[in-house]
A = this chain, B = another copy of it.
Amino acid sequence: MNPKVSQIAVGAELSKVFAHIDANKDQFVSRLLDYLRHPSISSDKSGIGEVAELLASMLSRLGFEARAIATSGHPMVAARWERERGVPTVLLYGHYDVMPPDPLEAWISPPFEPTIREGRIYARGAGDSKSQHLAQILAVESYLAVHGRLPCNVLILLEGEEEIGSPSLAGFIQANRDLLKADLVVTADGSLHESGRPVIKYGVRGIAGFELRARAANRDVHSGLFGGVVPNPIWTLVHLLATMKNANGEITIDGFHDGVLAPSDLERAIAAELPLDAADLKQSLGLARLDNPVDRTVADRLMFHPTLTINGFHSGYGGPGLKTVLPHEAFVKCDARLVDGQDSDDVLTKIEAHVKKYAPDVELVRLESTPPSKTPIDSPFSAIVQQAVHTGQGLEPLIYPKASGTLPDYVFTQILGMPSFVTPYANFDQANHAPNENIQIDCFLKGIRTGAALLNGLGKSV
């Protein structure tokens, strides 16, 4: 793949901001190192409240109306700078919590003692995502430092529970629609493409997670003495699952595809340009072939088709050799990834009805429900965001009509009804969620430039 390096004409107003960023890069790196010294691990709450207050103070000093707002979980940091009339308002979303740093012994330098090696800062949260939302804040700060004002209105929302599934986010947004209503939301999170090309994601697949529990006799029995007499819950689940997806890979749950929207010609065309190569994928994963159905491109598979994955199947004997047992219970966990037009709660209801019809004795337990999210490729803000990313990073971004994974992006697109753009600043090998997490200093600085270019572009859009 040939990354498209290009120079984009930068206007005088933005040029000055870029010059400021350049002149202050050592100071900005030092500010990031300071921030990374504060743990804020959502799974054990350590440092959460302190970091929320630190961010609220930082934003207040920039002239934002900023607060750390209590929720039933961890505080939300919400801030607004709204002085211009007739310009768009952008919501910048991020998360200040980080994953636990275990296993500690695998870190070359301690996770909360940020260390620079070969142009990278190593620390927990360096990539995911303290460098990324700090870049957005420093972009705002730089713009204000140079011009004394922002070219558009800015809301900032930083949550402290993203790494534990964002349990308070949807409720907080429902309850604070007026506070958070903007014209678009931009999230800097995730990784650049492996090639170094920047990325913009216009939506995510949803998820419907569930467990199936089959039970038969009141105890395990001997397969010789009771085989053919006592029902086998493994067979029950095998036969039920076989009615849910066939050997050709087609999901056959009654009503599962109801309402599925086919991608537009534009989405298909854009997806087809992405560097998603089946041969590369097969080689890196050691695969002889891709999954069924066979007649789909990788992009089609990842963006425009729902999936039904069995995450685990456990029952009976698993040790060496044979044990002639007929187990009395069996458990399966599954997740379905959902595309545009599907709703996760509705899909779970359809799956429940299917199970009731084909295996009425099997219990279904709902485990997760997040709807998909869609932002139209031809959104009025699309060109501005793409241009800003291109300007900030010097490479034309890859456009993903849909990310294959799941984020609670629907809170912005469905609850607040605004377009949502996810554009990562961190290097591909940031090792998020793993030991030796890192951010390339160059990526961090380009993130600040991208944030500034975004503000600038939105100001010029009127």
Q: Which residues of B sit under 8 angstroms from A218, Cβ to Cβ?
A: 285-286
A272 touches B (CB below 8 Å): no
Contact A228:B337 (CB < 8 A) given known A239-B247, A311-B316:
yes
Q: Which residues of B sit under 8 angstroms from A333, Cβ to Cβ?
A: 316-318, 322-323
Determine whether the beta carbon of B322 is less than 8 Å from that of A227: no
Cα separation A71 to B301 with both chains bound (whole Å): 60
Determine whether the beta carbon of A217 is less than 8 Å from that of B287: yes
Q: Which residues of B sit under 8 angstroms from A285, Cβ to Cβ?
A: 217-219, 221, 226, 230
Determine whether the beta carbon of A316 is less than 8 Å from that of B312: yes
A335 touches B (CB below 8 Å): yes
Determine whether the beta carbon of B291 is less than 8 Å from that of A229: yes
Determine whether the beta carbon of A311 is less than 8 Å from that of B290: no
Which residue of the partner chain, among B230, B302, B405, contacts A229 with CB atoms under 8 Å? B302
Determine whether the beta carbon of A309 is less than 8 Å from that of B209: no
Determine whether the beta carbon of B228 is less than 8 Å from that of A305: yes
Which of A225, A316, A367 is the most central at the interface, judged by chain B CB atoms within 10 Å of its CB? Answer: A316
A143-181 CB contacts (< 8 Å) to partner B: none
Q: Which residues of B sit under 8 angstroms from A229, Cβ to Cβ?
A: 281, 290-291, 298, 301-302
A292 touches B (CB below 8 Å): yes
A461 touches B (CB below 8 Å): no
Determine whether the beta carbon of A223 is less than 8 Å from that of B337: yes
Q: Which residues of B sit under 8 angstroms from A224, Cβ to Cβ?
A: 205, 207, 337, 404-406
Determine whether the beta carbon of B225 is less than 8 Å from that of A405: yes
Cα separation A318 to B318 with both chains bound (whole Å): 13
Number of interface residues of A (CB under 8 A): 72
Contact A228:B324 (CB < 8 A) given known A222-B405, A234-B313, A316-B311:
no
Q: Looking across the interface, which residue of chain B has its beta carbon closest to that of A221? A: B285
Determine whether the beta carbon of A324 is less than 8 Å from that of B316: no
A12 touches B (CB below 8 Å): no
Q: Which residues of B sit under 8 angstroms from A321, Cβ to Cβ?
A: 367
Cα separation A290 to B217 with both chains bound (whole Å): 10
Cα separation A307 to B406 with both chains bound (whole Å): 43
Determine whether the beta carbon of A324 is less than 8 Å from that of B302: no
Q: Which residues of B sit under 8 angstroms from A245, Cβ to Cβ?
A: 235
Which residue of the partner chain, among B209, B239, B322, contacts A367 with CB atoms under 8 Å? B322
A456 touches B (CB below 8 Å): no
A286-314 CB contacts (< 8 Å) to partner B: 286-292, 296, 298, 301-302, 305, 307, 309-314
Which of A223, A246, A318, A325 is the most central at the interface, judged by chain B CB atoms within 10 Å of its CB? Answer: A223
Contact A313:B310 (CB < 8 A) given known A218-B286, A241-B238, A287-B216:
no
Residues of A within 8 A of B (CB): 205, 207, 209, 211, 216-219, 221-232, 234-235, 238-239, 241-242, 245-247, 281, 285-292, 296, 298, 301-302, 305, 307, 309-318, 321-327, 330-331, 333, 335, 337, 361, 367-368, 404-406
- Between A and B, 24 residue pairs with Cβ closer than 8 Å are A207-B224, A221-B285, A222-B405, A224-B337, A225-B405, A226-B404, A227-B307, A228-B337, A228-B404, A229-B281, A230-B290, A230-B291, A231-B291, A232-B309, A234-B310, A234-B313, A239-B247, A288-B361, A311-B316, A311-B325, A313-B313, A318-B333, A321-B367, A324-B335
